[in-house]
Amino acid sequence: MTTQSVETVLMPRLSDSMEEATIVEWLKAPGDRVSRGDDLVEIETDKATMVYEAEVDGVLEEVLVGAGGVAALGAPIARLAVPGTSAAEPDSAAPPRAVLPPTVPRPAVLPPTTPPTAPPPPSAALAAVAKPPTVAVPPAVGDRPHRVSATPAARRAATELGVELDTVPATGPFGRIVRADVTRVGSATKTAPPRRADAQQPARPAEEPIALSPTQKTIARRMSASRTEIPEFTLTAEIDMTSALELRRSLLALRPERPFSVNDLVVKAVAMTLREHPRLNASWGGDHVVRHGRVNIGVAVATDDALLVPTVSDVDTLAVAEIAMHTRAAAERARSRTATLSELAGATFTVTNLGMFGVLNFSAVINPPQVAILAVGTVVRRPMFASDGSVTARDLMQVSLSCDHRAVYGADGARFLDRLRTVLENPLELVVPPAQTDRDGLA
């Protein structure tokens, strides 16, 4: 007689800060045969929605936590029948298969580096005052329309079936569209009669409690802890971006195939400034400060129901166009909830931008254990007095630096902002390394 054993599937660790997670959708039903590497279940963690793959061959015998259910890290969520002993009863003598957490690398702690020598200022041609319309800095949140909340599997099914997600009623946890919703609409579309334009809509309740997703709960917990535990102070500076905008226009005209935004210039300038001011490229360790050897910048991205911060690693070593490419790709994966754990971890400093909404300035909340965050406002053209007393139009941008006073002092923050202003107002340093004059180094 062929025998089988029952293996318990435990809630895996899919995030470094994960304590529990929500089952979004089972991609296999009880009785389905499962092969190693098959998509088994979609799980929403505190940072993203991820597909968990089967680790062994077998048959899905029982689902212990259904769609919408919440399970703690390491808790049983299903049982798989695999070749072994009896399939009717789990082997109580054998412990359940544990899913080990992924290893999260820690940034190396290096001593401060010697500040690079300042490059010559940009040429007069690049610093000439142009008269473009008011420019809004493209923020990390992006200027795309509202994105429908759907799981990655649902989006794949919609593409395969030609179904518009806007037309799919959501039945998944937290109002999210799951794969079953898409397949139901796809099969019904061919036979369903057209909807009457005058059909009455169901009455909406006067008020409705909205459950928080695991991601939203984590954001709420971390931001509350930040405000209550961190002795924070904020410094604000105004930066003349006229030369930076003129340089960007010139480089885009030369190389339109390598586009980049003003925000990419800001991220590059922040990385270079952090190299010279390493006290802000650090984390709070409880009773000590960890100074990081790598400059990994988190760029805040607004999704349909949360705020995620994908990380661009080693930004100080990247060209501006490379920063633009990495940032766009990471932002798209964050919005579609397909970002990996490594893309959402390891940041040593954060930049957040609300310029696209016309916000002049704002104070951002520090993301612990980081010790600082930079908030970027919009660029506005305003009249300014020149050194000779004449009035000229300049493109001005306000930035606000929030710091943890346990690790960063006021003078540290002031010096950081002063150097950041110098770099952005003399932007050739952003695209031409100090010892390089070859045009091939541009962007």
**Residue-wise pLDDT tens digits, 48-96:** 778 888 999 999 999 999 988 888 889 999 999 987 644 444 444 444 4
Residue-range definition of the domain harbouring residue 58:
4-82
141 within 8 A of 353, measured Cβ to Cβ: yes
Matching residue, tokens 């400093």 = 349
Residue 70 lies in a domain: yes
Measure the CA–CA gap between 179 and 161, rounded to whole angstroms.
11
Asked if the structure places residue 128 within a domain, the reply is no
pLDDT at residue 441, as a whole number: 42
Identify whether 225 is part of a domain: no
CA distance 137 to 114: 31
pLDDT reported for residue 348 = 97
Which residues touch 367 (CB under 8 Å, ≥6 apart)?
222, 226, 298, 309, 347, 350, 373
Per-residue model confidence (pLDDT) at position 341: 78
Domain boundary among 52, 82, 112: 82
- The answer to whether residue 27 sits within a structural domain is yes
Per the listing, tokens 């129901």 go with: 305
Cβ–Cβ under 8 Å, residues 21 and 215: no
DSSP letter at 133 equals P
Of the residues 288, 292, 326, 405, only one is catalytic, namely 405
233 token code pair: 């102070």
In a domain, 164, yes or no: no
As for how many domains the chain has, the answer is 2
Q: What angle do CA 135, 139, 144 make, to 5 degrees?
A: 95
Q: Give the pLDDT of residue 157.
A: 82
CATH code where residue 47 lies? 2.40.50.100
Report the alpha-carbon distance of residue 13 to residue 47 in Å, rounded. Answer: 12
Given this model, what pLDDT does residue 435 score?
Answer: 53
Is the residue at 102 inside a domain? no
* Whether the predicted model's global pTM rises above the 0.85 cut: no
Q: Is 342 within a domain?
A: yes
Half-sphere exposure of 266 (CA within 13 A, CB side): 31
List the one residue out of 19, 16, 15, 59 whose CA is nearest residue 40: 59
59, with CB counted inside 10 A (0-12, 13-18, 19+), is: middle
- Contact between 38 and 54 (Cβ < 8 Å): yes
Give the single-character DSSP code of 164: -
CATH of the domain at 380: 3.30.559.10
pLDDT < 50 positions in the chain: 85-145, 436-443
Judge whether 405 counts as a catalytic residue: yes
Interatomic CA distance for residues 408 and 418, integer angstroms = 15
Residue after which a domain boundary falls, among 36, 52, 82: 82
The CA–CA distances, whole Å, from 166 to 144, 170, 199 equal: 15, 10, 18
**Alpha helical stretches, state H, 192-276:** 214-229, 242-254, 262-276
Q: What are phi and psi of 156, to 5 degrees?
A: -65, -45
Last residue of a domain, one of 82, 103, 130: 82
Residue 72 lies in a domain: yes
Q: How far is CA 151 from CA 14, 27, 62, 376, in A?
A: 16, 12, 23, 31
